[in-house]
């Protein structure tokens, strides 16, 4: 009977374990063969948390947000402001604060922006992002304006890492981030396979019908929106120690578009699509930026190309390759 509940490629704890293992093993290898590129793996893992949160809303609930940079900004500025004004250095309480702040914002604006859905939601989110971006710029006596807030070394799990060499600090930070990401991935696995996850998919497919089945669709969308905000806020907070500078650029509208693209690149209808997309995007960006200052132009073309040629993303390509292999050799059973 349970087989009738079909899970897409990569929607399993085993797949998540493999993914986390790969992201763990790849780091020392990269440090060895291409040292300059190792840090982007950490960036990729952080962005994957943001994209995963975004996709609970987009891929699972059918709500496209063009303003998720809002929560990246909330997360990053939570770290920046608490370090600057409270002198806090332990990261964990800052992460918790960032998540709480993101949830609070989501709960405050959600009931209004979620009511009308579709285009309204997309652009209202864009507008909220622009408002906060404007705040970071205009209230410069608090936020430092364009100069932003410099971030010193943080303490992780109570350990003072101020005196170790920077590369070791980065390595420790990578595994710290990966551990948090692993938890975030597993929690997301539970969410998408839970009654909530299925009900969200139902809302995505046909909201009117879901309501007729007695589902409080607005409430469920608000829950999804809040979880989504918490994930993205967490990612924003984790970014700060790595960028070492919290500036309005982190909350710019372009960042929202970036999160959208990571997700569609990996595949919005797959649990691990956004993770794969975030890692690949981060490398694409870092490599392309080495060759050209016209990354927007390239990215714009890429976005349009992916939407036209492969709207279901890279995971769907992998999926159809596996299906073809299974048909040919008849041995490959997809784990579920």
Partner 1 sequence: MAEALLRVDGVYKYFGGVRAVDGVSFSLGWGERLFIVGPNGAGKTTLVNLISGYLKPDRGRILFKGEDVTALGLAERVRRGIARSFQLVTVFDNLTVAENIAVSVASRLGRSRVAYRTLTSYRDVVEEVERILEVFELTDVASKYPTELSQGDRKILDVALTFALKPSLIILDEPTSGVATKDKHSVMERLIKAFDVTGVSSIIVEHDMDIVFRYARRVVAMHEGRVLADGDPASVRGNEEVRRILLGGVYA
Partner 2 sequence: MALPIYVLDTLFYSSLLFLIIAGLNLIYGILRVVNLAHASLFTFGAYATAWITTSLIVPRLGENLLALMVLPLVLAVILVILVSLALVTPLLRYSQGRGDAFQLIVTFGLLIIFEDLFKLIWGPHPVSAYNLFFQMGFIDIAGLRYPVYKFYVILLTAILALALWYVTYRTAFGLVLRASSMDPHMATALGLNTSRFLFIVIVLASALAGLGGSLYIPVASVQLGLSTEFLVIAFVGMVIGGLGSFVGAVVGSLIVSSLRTLTLIVFPELELVVLYLVAVIVLLWKPEGIGGGRGW
To partner 2, the closest distance from the beta carbon of 130 in angstroms equals 5
Round to whole Å and give the CA distance between 230 and 79.
14
For CA atoms 195, 200, 201, 205, give the dihedral sign.
positive
Contact 69, 132 (CB under 8 A): no
Q: Tell me the sheet residues that pair with 149.
A: 246
Instruction: State how far the alpha carbon of 56 is from the alpha carbons of 188, 198, 216, 248, 295, in Å.
Output: 8, 11, 17, 25, 27
**Site membership for partner 1, residue 197 (CB under 8 A):** yes
Interface pick for partner 2 out of 93, 134, 162, 335 (rule CB under 8 A) = 134
Stretch 137-156: interaction string toward partner 2, x if CB under 8 A: -xx-----------------
Q: What are phi and psi of 68, to 5 degrees?
A: -70, -15
For residue 225, how many C-alpha atoms fall within 13 Å in the half-sphere facing its CB?
27
The item of partner 1, partner 2, none sharing an interface with residue 52, based on CB under 5 to 8 Å by kind, is: none
Q: Which is nearer to partner 1, 5 or 291 (CB)?
A: 5
Q: Which is nearer to partner 1, 132 or 188 (CB)?
A: 188
To partner 1, the closest distance from the beta carbon of 127 in angstroms equals 29
Interface pick for partner 1 out of 26, 104, 186, 215 (rule CB under 8 A) = 215
Interface pick for partner 1 out of 16, 94, 184, 220 (rule CB under 8 A) = 220
Q: What are phi and psi of 99, to 5 degrees?
A: -70, -40
Instruction: State how far the alpha carbon of 258 is from the alpha carbons of 116, 159, 312, in Å.
Output: 24, 33, 17
The footprint of partner 1 (CB under 8 A) covers 1-6, 190-191, 193-199, 201-202, 204-206, 208-216, 219-220, 223, 227, 269
Which residues make up the interface to partner 2 (CB under 8 A)?
58, 62, 64, 66, 112, 115-116, 118-120, 122-124, 126-128, 130-131, 134-135, 138-139, 253-254, 257, 260-261, 264, 293-297, 299-304, 307-308, 311
């Amino acid at each position: 009977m349970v087989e009738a509940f079909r899970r897409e490629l990569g929607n399993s704890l085993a797949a998540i374990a493999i993914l986390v293992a790969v992201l763990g093993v790849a780091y020392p290898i990269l440090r060895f063969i291409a040292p300059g590129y190792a840090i982007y793996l950490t960036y990729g893992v952080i962005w994957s948390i943001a994209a995963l949160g975004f996709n609970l809303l987009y891929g699972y609930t059918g709500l496209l947000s063009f303003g998720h940079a809002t929560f990246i900004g909330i997360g990053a500025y939570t770290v920046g402001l608490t370090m600057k004004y409270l002198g806090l250095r332990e990261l964990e309480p800052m992460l918790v604060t960032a998540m709480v702040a993101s949830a609070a914002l989501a709960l405050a604006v959600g009931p209004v922006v979620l009511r009308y859905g579709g285009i309204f939601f997309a652009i209202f989110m864009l507008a909220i992002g622009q408002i906060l971006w404007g705040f970071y710029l205009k209230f410069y006596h608090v936020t430092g304006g364009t100069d932003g807030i410099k971030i010193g070394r943080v303490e992780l799990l109570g350990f003072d890492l101020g005196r170790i060499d920077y590369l070791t600090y980065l390595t420790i930070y990578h595994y710290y981030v990966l551990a948090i990401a692993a938890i975030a991935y597993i929690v997301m696995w539970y969410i998408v396979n839970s009654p909530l996850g299925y009900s969200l998919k139902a809302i995505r497919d046909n909201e009117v019908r879901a309501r007729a089945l007695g589902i409080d669709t607005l409430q469920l969308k608000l829950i999804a929106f809040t979880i989504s905000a918490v994930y993205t806020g967490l990612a924003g907070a984790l970014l700060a120690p790595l960028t070492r500078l919290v500036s309005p650029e982190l909350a710019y509208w372009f960042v929202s578009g970036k999160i959208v693209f990571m997700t569609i690149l990996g595949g919005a209808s797959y649990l691990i699509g956004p993770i794969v997309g975030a890692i690949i995007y981060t490398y694409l960006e870092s490599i392309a930026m080495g060759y050209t200052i016209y990354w927007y132009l390239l990215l714009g073309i890429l976005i349009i190309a992916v939407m036209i040629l492969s709207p279901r993303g890279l995971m769907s390509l992998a999926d159809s390759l596996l299906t073809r292999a299974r048909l040919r050799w008849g041995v490959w059973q997809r784990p579920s």
